[in-house]
Structures are given as C-alpha cells and as structure tokens.
Structure 1
Amino acid sequence: MKNYQTALERYREAAENGDLAASRKLGKVLLEEGLRYMEAAALNGDGEALEILSAVLDSANKLLYKGQKQEGRSLLAETDFSQVQAGDVVLFGRHISKDEPMAWKVLDAKEGRVLLLSEDILEYRAFHDKWGLVTWESASIRKYLNGDFLARAFSDKERFIIATTKVEAHENPMCNTDPGRDTRDKVFLLSAVEAERYFPVNLDRRCFYCFADRKAGARPSWWWLRSPGFNEANAASVWEDGTFAYSYVRDVRGGIRPALWVEA
C-alpha cells in the first residue's frame, strides 16, 4: 500500500509539472480505483453508487464511440439508443469470430425501442441443417441466433436490453407458401415484407461480408430472409444485386444478417 501511495504522489507531482503521460496515467489509475469502489458499493445495495456508476459508464461509452469515423460513417455510443434515428449506425456487441465491435444500422425507432439490422453480413450459414420442408419457426438458424449467437456476441448488460419481440409470420408477397406461425424471439431475420419496407430500392439491399476487403474489389454476397420461398424447402433471400430470390434451405453460402429490437 505504501508503494502504491508513493507511486500516486509521484504521478501527481509529474502531472502538476506538465507531464501529460503522467497525467493520463494518474487519471487512469484514479478512475479504475473509483470504479472498483463504486462497483463494490453498488453490489452492497448502495443505490446512489449504482446511479453514479451507471452515469460514469454511459459517459465513457459516449467518449469512446460518439463522433468516431469508420469508413466515413458516424458511430454512436454502443449502449446509448435514446437519441438515435433511422439511418444511424451504432456499435453493439462483438463479432464472435473476431474481437471487434459489430456495426448495426438503425431501421426504426418508436415507442421506446429501436430496430437494428447488422450493417454487414456477419457469417455464412444454412437456413436449416436438414433437407425438407421448414419455416422460420422450426429453422435451425432461428435456434442458432437465439442460442449460441446471442450468448457469445453480447454481454449480460447488452442482452438485458435486447427485447423479446413478436416476430410475425409474414407471407411472401411473391408466392403463396405457408409461412408458419408467429414466434417470440430476441434475434431474427427480416421478412421479405420488412426488407422491402425498409429498403425500397434494390441497390440499398446489397450487402458485403463484414471482413471483406472492399478496396480490393470484394463482391456483395446474398443473404437470408425468414420468409418462405416457392415452397417450404426454399427460403427467401436477397441476391447480390439486391433483388429478391429463393434459395434451398441447406445452402451454406447464405449470408446471416441478424435483426433485433433494443430498449432505448
């Protein structure tokens, strides 16, 4: 403890003498100590400490993310959804295959909730792991997104604000295939109806794999929708040029572009 106090005094003296590195180090140490103290107090039931800790973390998120630029896009605080609007891009969760934040496009904001769609294709998977007739309700991709993906891509705090939502079994406007029944999910794929509603222009539906090198000429990829195709052995998809199509449910080349509602 004596060595710790001596180190603090030296950092403080150096900071007072204009040493910027020492000033940053001192600030970091004091912040970490303060957060540990507030966390312990909050865990012991101190309501005021919990409020202060929440405010500090919210401010830290804003300082880290608000106003950053990534390939020309404005990025907002990853857990601050109170002021977002349709068209914004936010960072939320982390890629399960690479330790980087995931970027999400805000599609809608209403009634205290915000609808997010991954800006890029996060991975490639089949819609279902077996041949045969299937709808979103029984598809293996639904089980994966609400199981392993949800558990690995988001922290406890992030999962807490992801809303369980009624996912409607929209009919595909291009065919009369039975879409199955409505479900209740935290993570889902867009339906053909929703994809057309939020992206009325074909080119706006074009999407790339998240780690593709676009500067090197990477091509767009096609991605799954939850709507059925011309029968239950197919599922709707968005093709490379942004047009709607159908694909066999076991096609492992399909891009996964999850959607979810978060509490603002």
Structure 2
Amino acid sequence: MSKYKIVYRDANPSWQELCPVRVLAVQVSRDTETGACFLQTKIVNVSTKPISRIEFTVGLEGEGGETENVDFSLLDADLPAGEVLRPKAVRIKLSVITGSRAVVTRADGETSFGDPIDIDSPAPLALNGVEESERDVLLSEMEADTFKCSGVHSEHDGWWQCGCGAVNLKRGTCWNCGAVREKLADLEDAAFLDESRRDRVYRSSVAKLEKGKKKDVEAAKESLEKLAEQGYGDSGEKVSEADARIASLAKKRKGIALAAVAGIVLLMALIAISPLPSMLAMWSDMRACQEKIRDTPIGQTIDFGTYSAELPAYRGTSVAGKPIRWLVLDKQDGRALLVTEQCVDYLPFDEMGDAEDFESSTLHGYLNGSFMDFAFSDVERGLIDGDVTIPDSFLLYDFEPSDDFLYATSVKDGNEVKDWWTSTVEEYSGSSLYSDFYYEGQPIANYVSTWGEIKSGDDGSEEDDPAGVRPAIWVKLN
C-alpha cells in the first residue's frame, strides 16, 4: 500500500503518575525501499490546561541489547487540554526494535513527575442487557461515546481512569469519550440504572396517557401495569386513568366507525387486490429508521445495514449477520452523512489501477452492486440518497475529524489497524521521490495511513494495491 511498514508498535506505554502529558503510542516504521527507520509518537494533554512546552525522551532497545535514545523538544507545542498531538517522525539508527520506554521530562514549568505505572484496560461492567441499554441512553444524553465507554471507571489519588480506558488528570469530563466523571459511578450501578429505566418508562407512559392515541394509551397501560406490579409510585392509579382514557377514545371512535362502514368495506376490497399493506409497512419502518437517525447526535454511532453472509467477505466470519455500525458525521438539508466506524473490507481502489475518479473504479462498482444489494434491506436502500461512496480527502480536511476516526481498525481482522482509501484521485506529478514506481500522469488515490495521516498528491498509492474500505452514505431524514 505505502512505502512504509510498521516494524514495532507499543499502543499502551506506561504513564508517569500525575504527569499532564501521556505518551499514547510509540511506533517505528521502515521504508521498504531504503530500509531507513523512523520513530513516530502520539501524545495527549490529559489535564485541564493548555501546555506550551513539552519535552520527552523515547528509549529504544534492539534485538542484540543495543539501545538508542531519541529526544523530543516541542518548544511551541501549544497543546490544548484534552487534545492529541503527533510530533514529526524522527529517523533512527536501530532497525529491529524489541522494546521502548517513553519518559516525559518537561510540561511547561513541571519537570518532576511520579513513577511510571502501567495503565490496564478497565474491568468489564457487571450489568445485564437491559441495564447496559439504559446506561447507553444516559451516556448519549451527556453526549459521551457509548461505544468507547464500555468498562468500569476507577478513582485514584489525583487522577481517574474512565471506562473507555483514558487517563484523566483533574478533569470533570473524559478527554477521550466525553463521559462525565461524577456520573460514572451511578452508570455502573445496576440498582441506579434499574430505577432510572423505570422512571423513564413511567414518564413516557404518563405523557402518552395525556396526549397519545388509543394504541399509544394501550401500550402505556401495559407498561404501567408492570410498574404497578413492582410497586412503583402511583403506577396503579395511572392504570385506572389509562382504562378511563381508553374507554373515552373507544366511544369517540365508535361513532366515526359507524359512519364510515361503507367506505371501510370498499377500502378493504381495494387493499385485498393491491400491494398497499406491504407498502404501508415499509413506509412505517422507514419513518422509524429516520427518527432513530434524527435522534442520534453528530459524532455518535448508529446501526444500519448488516454484514450479510451473502457477501463472500463475511461468509463464515464472526461478523456475519451482525449490524454495521456507522458514525453520524454531519446533518444538513434533511440528510445525514454516515461513515462506517471500521473498515468493512480490504480491497483495491481499482483492480486495473487506472481509474481517473472514484465513480469509474471497481471499488465503486462493488459498493453500489453486491454490497448495496446484500448489506441493506429494502427499507434501508429506500433511505439512501445517491450512491454508496467513501469519504474524500477534502471532506476529511474540512471536518477535522478526531484521531480515533482517522485511526481505523478492520472489522474482520481482529481489529487490526488499516490504511484506508479516500475517494480522491490525483495524477502523479513526477516527483523524483517516487519516479521509480509511478509514471507521470498516473492516477494515484489518496488514503489515510495507519498512523492517521492523510496521504495525498504524490504521497498517494497505486490504485491496484489493497487497502481498507469505509463506506459513506447520505441518508434521507424526511
């Protein structure tokens, strides 16, 4: 795919306790043509204040016991609180790396920090499916990422670790997933979540009693009856109100029904010989799906479509039959832009390697052929506005997506990080750096590297190389 291969990666280095800067990853990439190796790092400000000056050292160990230290001095880092920074890669001498150790030596005026400690993954939640669903609702209300925040948070002296695994220093909100610290203990308590769910059901049912139609009131009554059995508040009294409301609505409907018998008989005759029932059911399902997408905030995820076993890519895999998860990237003009959270496949941009644009590529043909046919239901296809595409480089620049969005994993290959295609195609300009590989004017496709960098222009890739695929669709909301 690219001229670099990752030869070493530590995705969870130790953290110096109470240090406002954490090194999130250490990676070494090798130029496959020259053999030169480059050290890449990623750091984050886990505190509440911006940091102007950052200095840190990465110690590398080779397979023969040799060592190499690389100093990073970011005098004008100007790293905002909760933001991630990728310093410029540094060429190193070692070529085979067996270990690394990152040490922060300065963060503005601070030069002394705690001992390095390992940051373990959060413990799993001890909740059932109903309780986890209520937790997701409450996380969404605080605009937190429900997919990331999936574990138990932990409190420590001067810092805390969120359920998503991120370290936070004196922060009220997690820099990584947006979860509110003071609410996390409740969101891990089964009793609290059960009470929250019952209160939500109660309030929703009472609202339906006051304004709902007969079907809604009947559903509300059923919910209130269950709450009454559990002795919840005045649910028993509300059941009686529901009975009275249903009787009142039935009385009104009786007069209307008698006056319309002839019309109903005629309508039923027409329905019997028409496709109207299935059309009405599809319309209802479409409206429900649209409402779900409308209610999902930008930046949050939603399930839409399925990893169909009819597609060879998923047949016999662990994801076959599971829903495809998408990020809501934008909403405008009555439409929502969805992009898959992970790479759904690993394919060439164009098998012949000479597509002048995405629309003429074999990837476009696949996404709008077999993938469109089998990944989506009739209802879902009816909501898709236009073709299935992939994000273009200019959209990524405009939206300034988070590092987590750019750093994409594969849904099929054990969550392995992948390069992934964008839809932007440019012509090779003749740069001497790649003159041995490309011809001038050759179509070169932009892509996002495993390090989250958008590779454009002459840094793009030959189209017949395989890379990750992240479909994008516009969905009609009205």
1:189 aligned to 384, 390, 401, which one? 390
Contact kept, 8 Å, 2:408 with 2:450, in 1: the verdict is yes
CA drift of 1:212 comes to 3.9
SS in 2 for 1:159: helix
1:97-108 equivalence runs, <5 A: 97=314, 98-108=320-330
> TM-score w.r.t. structure 1 length?
0.60
Is 1:237 matched with 2:447?
yes
Is 1:157 matched with 2:354?
no
**For the structure 1 residues 152 and 134, does the alpha-carbon distance in structure 2 shift closer, same or farther, using more than 3 Å as the test?**
same
The residue type paired with residue 227 of structure 1 is T
Contact kept, 8 Å, 1:78 with 1:90, in 2: the verdict is no
CA drift of 1:131 comes to 3.1
Partner of 2:470: 257
Unaligned runs of 5+ in 2: 1-269, 309-313, 315-319, 429-441
Partners in 2 of 1:228 and 1:54 — Cα distance? 38
Partners in 1 of 2:282 and 2:354 — Cα distance? 52
**For the structure 1 residues 134 and 42, does the alpha-carbon distance in structure 2 shift closer, same or farther, using more than 3 Å as the test?**
same
Is 1:89 matched with 2:301?
yes
Which of 1 and 2 has greater Rg? 2
CA drift of 1:112 comes to 1.4
**For the structure 1 residues 233 and 83, does the alpha-carbon distance in structure 2 shift closer, same or farther, using more than 3 Å as the test?**
same
The residue type paired with residue 408 of structure 2 is C
Contact kept, 8 Å, 1:78 with 1:91, in 2: the verdict is no
Of structures 1 and 2, the one with the larger relative CO (CA 8 A, separation 6+) is: 1
> TM-score w.r.t. structure 2 length?
0.35
Deviations 1:196-235 (A, max 9, x none): 2234444531100013435xxxx41110001124524320
Contact kept, 8 Å, 2:341 with 2:405, in 1: the verdict is no
Partners in 2 of 1:195 and 1:125 — Cα distance? 21
CA drift of 1:51 comes to 5.6
The residue type paired with residue 87 of structure 1 is G
CA drift of 1:46 comes to 9.1
The percentage of aligned residue pairs carrying the same residue is: 24
Deviations 1:119-160 (A, max 9, x none): 110001000011335321321111111111111111111101
Contact kept, 8 Å, 1:229 with 1:247, in 2: the verdict is no
1:114 aligned to 318, 333, 336, which one? 336
Deviations 1:86-105 (A, max 9, x none): 11211111113211110000
Partners in 1 of 2:282 and 2:373 — Cα distance? 25
Partners in 2 of 1:126 and 1:227 — Cα distance? 14
Partners in 1 of 2:279 and 2:365 — Cα distance? 35
Unaligned runs of 5+ in 1: 1-40, 62-76, 165-185
CA drift of 1:83 comes to 2.0
Query: CA RMSD, aligned part only?
Result: 3.0
**For the structure 1 residues 45 and 142, does the alpha-carbon distance in structure 2 shift closer, same or farther, using more than 3 Å as the test?**
same
